[in-house]
Amino acid sequence: MDNDQLWVTIHRERGRLLELLRSLDDAEWDRPSLCDGWRVRDVAAHVIASSDYSTPGMLIGIVRARGDFNRLVDKLAREQGGRPADQILARHERQATSRRRPPGTKPQDPLVDVLVHSQDIAIPLGRSHPMPAEPARDAAEFVWNRGFPFDARRHHPGIRFSATDVDFTVGEGETVRAPIADILLTMTGRTRITNEPGTPAP
């Protein structure tokens, strides 16, 4: 998809996530997410706050985190996740159609963020939040070629991923066939997949 289509998709998925967040009760906001050590509220705050990050702010944060990017992200998510839910929702409402993104990232990064983090919230809560297949394919292709922070190629050697619902095949080795949403979640470290039941062996 071109850049405008990409942002339309990101904004649509942010809107869908906002509707999911609006439906949560107080207990659900504090439930664990799929992100290790993060509550639902931490993920919700993180996924939209990234549109506010500035280059000076990130540089200062990296220095304070002693050069550890993951430590910085974790610190910011926990701080912002500690805010009341209505403040997190208000930020989503303000930033849902923003095209700003953190320094050093590409336009596809916010797409990966909203697709994957929506599942980080929905799956442990048992909520149905289907991931759109075509955007998920674009996100998976980007992640496969991205390197940091997922390093999907390095973490999945000897595996050939093949989607069952869209045209997508990457990697070399034993073929694993699954829906593209499951492939994207596996590439980003959320789940481990095996061939779909009834799928012929390669």
Could you tell me the two tokens for 51?
Answer: 């549109």
Regarding whether 70 and 19 lie in a shared domain, the answer is: yes
Regarding whether 144 and 119 lie in a shared domain, the answer is: no
pLDDT of residue 149: 83
Whether the Cβ atoms of residue 67 and residue 40 lie closer than 8 Å to each other: no
Identify the band that residue 52 occupies on the pLDDT scale cut at 50, 70 and 90: low
Using DSSP's 3-state secondary structure scheme, residue 129 falls into coil
Whether 100 is covered by a domain: the verdict is yes
Rounded to two decimals, what is the model's pTM? 0.85
Amino acid residing at 82: G
Regarding whether 177 and 83 lie in a shared domain, the answer is: no
How many domains in the chain? 2
Regarding whether 15 and 101 lie in a shared domain, the answer is: yes
**Owning domain of residue 154:** 133-187
Regarding whether 170 and 75 lie in a shared domain, the answer is: no
Regarding whether 149 and 79 lie in a shared domain, the answer is: no
pLDDT of residue 64: 58
pLDDT of residue 148: 83
Q: CA 50, 51, 55, 57: dihedral to nearest 10 degrees?
A: -60
Domain final residue pick, 75, 90, 125: 125
Identify the band that residue 202 occupies on the pLDDT scale cut at 50, 70 and 90: very low
Regarding whether 116 and 33 lie in a shared domain, the answer is: yes
- Give the integer Cα–Cα distance in Å for 188 and 151: 8
Whether 194 is covered by a domain: the verdict is no
Whether the Cβ atoms of residue 131 and residue 181 lie closer than 8 Å to each other: yes
Regarding whether 83 and 9 lie in a shared domain, the answer is: yes
Whether 96 is covered by a domain: the verdict is yes
Domain final residue pick, 125, 145, 170: 125
Domain final residue pick, 125, 148, 165: 125
Whether 195 is covered by a domain: the verdict is no
Regarding whether 98 and 137 lie in a shared domain, the answer is: no
Whether 51 is covered by a domain: the verdict is yes
What percent of the chain clears pLDDT 90, i.e. is strictly above it?
Answer: 69
Regarding whether 107 and 157 lie in a shared domain, the answer is: no
* CB atoms closer than 10 angstroms to residue 151: 13
Whether 192 is covered by a domain: the verdict is no
Whether 108 is covered by a domain: the verdict is yes
What percent of the chain clears pLDDT 70, i.e. is strictly above it?
Answer: 85
> Does 171 have pLDDT greater than 60?
yes
Whether 76 is covered by a domain: the verdict is yes
Regarding whether 27 and 7 lie in a shared domain, the answer is: yes
